Amino acid sequence: MEKYELQKLRDLPIEGVAERLGLQVTRHKCLCPFHDDRHPSLSFKVSKNTFRCFVCGASGGTIDLVMKCLNKSFLEATRWLADENNVILQTSATTHHPSDIIHQPSFDASRYEKYFERPFLNDEARRFLFDERRLDPRVVRWCHLTSWKDRQGVPWLQIPYYNQEGQLVGVQNRNLIRGALPRFRFPQGSQCGIYNLPVLNLLKPGDALYITEGSSDCWAMLSAGHKAIAIPSATLLTRQDKEQLSTLNSQLSTEFHMYPDRDEPGERLFLQLQRVLPSLVHHQLPPGCKDFSDYFLTFYRH
């Protein structure tokens, strides 16, 4: 793994990582998961992006926290962090740079555009999109979803990210083998921020725009007949994404809606977004549905 990629994982906000791990952070402190803790003794140092428990002495950075909490090896922990946060990891060492240079490659759209012009869905992709997720084929076409198999025969769903002008700015590959790691892969330099921006060109004054967490909830929302965009994940909402949303809020005469995931990070994300989109309307998922995809599937149950 390249040095700059490890640094990206080390730079993920540590309190956000802790929350993804299920710890409840209040005023830079939480109950220590590594000893029988009654009063929060684990504290976070935001300036250094580290944690330390002053009772049992556990300490470290983001990767250490994941290794300890989930009992994972260093490599497993980095993969978990990358998957949870859509961080791009280069799995092979095809590009070698002197280790002291922080190198950020740019995205070569011309290499990928052709795949999305003539989408092809293999059996695994059709099973995932239509049998498991019950998505509307028109949505799958609109999103230019396609599929491929790598040299090891692993099937991947290939998800293009476009800007509002319709230019390809990034690609997300989703592993179609359930439970397999890595769950996602991104070509070099992919900008996978806000998803489905071209839908904004179809918005009519007064239309509702739904905001989902992740592309797959976005497909479910579109299949349910709503106009929707997706943001990557609660911990990865960047300042750039927030600025873009804030601009949309001032440009569009649109009402923003959201069904937050039924968990702590979901609600926290809603509150974060509400600061940028003050009129954001909260919808409650019914009990037993953890996200909108889940809820969408209940439309098909008798």
Please check whether residue 201 is in contact with residue 244, taking contact to mean a CB–CB distance below 8 angstroms: no
Is 32 one of the binding residues for Zn ion (CB under 5 A)?
yes
Instruction: Kindly state the smallest distance separating residue 241's Cβ from Zn ion, in Å.
Output: 34
Specify the amino acid at residue 183: R
Piece of 33-41, 158-166, 233-241, 256-264 that binds Zn ion (CB under 5 A): 33-41
> Which one, 58 or 135, has the nearer CB to Zn ion?
58
Residues in 241-280 at the binding interface with Zn ion, rule: CB under 5 A: none
Instruction: Kindly state the smallest distance separating residue 263's Cβ from Zn ion, in Å.
Output: 24
Residues in 160-179 at the binding interface with Zn ion, rule: CB under 5 A: none
Tokens of 68: 């300890």
Is 125 one of the binding residues for Zn ion (CB under 5 A)?
no
Please check whether residue 62 is in contact with residue 12, taking contact to mean a CB–CB distance below 8 angstroms: yes
> Which one, 59 or 274, has the nearer CB to Zn ion?
59
> Which one, 37 or 294, has the nearer CB to Zn ion?
37
- List CB contacts of 255: < 8 A, sequence separation 6 or more: 206, 207, 208, 209, 279, 281
Residues in 68-107 at the binding interface with Zn ion, rule: CB under 5 A: none
CA torsion 280→283→289→293, rounded to 10°? Answer: -60
- The secondary structure of 150-161, three-state, reads CCCCCEEEEEEE
Is 135 one of the binding residues for Zn ion (CB under 5 A)?
no
- Rounded to the nearest 10 degrees, what angle do helices 3-10 and 74-85 cross at? 70
Q: How many residues does the chain have?
A: 302
Residues in 46-65 at the binding interface with Zn ion, rule: CB under 5 A: 53, 55-56
Is 31 one of the binding residues for Zn ion (CB under 5 A)?
no
> Which one, 32 or 159, has the nearer CB to Zn ion?
32
Q: E strands within 146-248?
A: 146-149, 155-162, 168-175, 184-185, 208-213, 227-231
> Which one, 34 or 112, has the nearer CB to Zn ion?
34
Instruction: Kindly state the smallest distance separating residue 85's Cβ from Zn ion, in Å.
Output: 25
Site residues for Zn ion per CB under 5 A: 32, 34-35, 53, 55-56
